Structure 1
Amino acid sequence: MIMFLLRALVFLVSAAIGLIAADLILDGFRIDWGDWWGFVLAIVIFAVLQSVLAPWLARVAQRNAPVLLGGIGILSTFVALVVVALIPGAGLTISGALARVLAPVIVWIVTALATLLLPMLLFKKKVAERRAG
């Protein structure tokens, strides 16, 4: 149970880092910083959608179009961002064609890197303790 919660925490933090990176890099990608609750809602909805959509889209692609399997991460990120942007209270807006195309790529890359690196940084001491004994 603890590992599940730690993985969920890492995934939520990596989603937040990905969304913040897109906000900093793209002009058409905006997080409403005046409403912190909206940003938390956007993170949670994005992370849940991402974790549900990626395996589902992978199964659909594997059955119907195996060539698309490599792009499942970006596709699920795109769908999750569209859904979050459509929710009025989520505090996230995407405007402009360039932002709609680049936002999923930026969020996907940053989230993937954060998901890979965060456990190493956050749980470095715990891993060292386990290895030692």
Structure 2
Amino acid sequence: MIRLLATTVVALIANAIALIVGAWVLPGMTVSSFAFVIAVVIFTVATILLDPLIRQVAMTKTPVLIGSSALISTLLALIVTAIVSDGLQIDGITTWILATVIVWAVALIARLLLPYIVFKKTLAKRRSA
């Protein structure tokens, strides 16, 4: 249960950072400060639900697409978030493509690094025990 909570916290923080970086880098992508938290929650839930589904479909139907399943689920999560919430707007096909790659890459890096930053004390206690 604690591991699920920790994974969820890391995913929320990583996705928040990724959306902020995407909006900062891309002029056609805006994240509303008022609805930012709602957009992050919707994006995270959509990613958590879509990623295993797309991975499973890729494994059974087109195994060649397994490597790009994370990018596809990121794109679909951005689409769902843009449709459902007022907190995210993306204009133009180029911006959609670049937003997908940037948000995916930043979230991936953040998910790798955040556990060491956020749970530093817990990790240190486990190593010393």
TM class by shorter-chain length? Answer: over 0.9
Unaligned runs of 5+ in 1: none
User: CA separation in 2, counterparts of 1:39 and 1:132?
Assistant: 39
Which ranges of 4 or more aligned residues in structure 1 deviate by more than 4 Å? none
User: CA separation in 1, counterparts of 2:58 and 2:31?
Assistant: 31
Q: What's the CA shift for 1:126?
A: 1.1
Q: What's the CA shift for 1:90?
A: 3.3
Report whether the alignment pairs 1:67 with 2:47: no
**Per-residue CA shift, 1:68-100, capped at 9, x if unaligned?**
00001110000000111112x431100012111
- C-alpha RMSD of matched pairs (Å): 0.9
User: Which of 46, 68, 73 in structure 2 is aligned with 1:76?
Assistant: 73
Give aligned pairs, total: 129
Q: What's the CA shift for 1:49?
A: 0.7
Q: Percent identity?
A: 42
Distance 1:90 1:5, change over 3 A: farther
What residue in structure 2 maps to residue 97 of structure 1?
A: 93
User: CA separation in 1, counterparts of 2:86 and 2:116?
Assistant: 30
User: Which of 26, 33, 39 in structure 2 is aligned with 1:42?
Assistant: 39
Query: Letter of the aligned partner of 1:91 in structure 2?
Result: G
Secondary structure at the residue paired with 1:114?
helix
